[in-house]
């Protein structure tokens, strides 16, 4: 449904590319989110 919404609008090409990337790497994304690993750096105040 989302893919069809962005397919016909050139301004939304980056969104379509991001969706394709997410589809290719979905398993790894879910695994990383579940494990708690992130790229966020802890800042000490």
Residue spans of the domains in the chain: they are: 2-34
CA 27, distance to chain mean position in Å, is: 12
Bigger pLDDT: 25 or 45? 25
Q: What angle do CA 43, 30, 35 make, to 5 degrees?
A: 50
The pLDDT > 90 percentage for the chain reads 4
Q: What is the mean pLDDT of the chain?
A: 78
Better-predicted residue by pLDDT, 6 or 45: 6
| 43 compared with 25, residue with greater pLDDT | 25
């Amino acid at each position: 449904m989302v893919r069809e919404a962005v397919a016909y609008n050139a301004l939304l090409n980056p969104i379509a590319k991001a969706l394709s990337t997410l589809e290719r790497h979905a398993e790894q994304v879910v695994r990383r989110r579940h494990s708690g690993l992130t790229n966020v750096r802890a800042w000490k105040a």
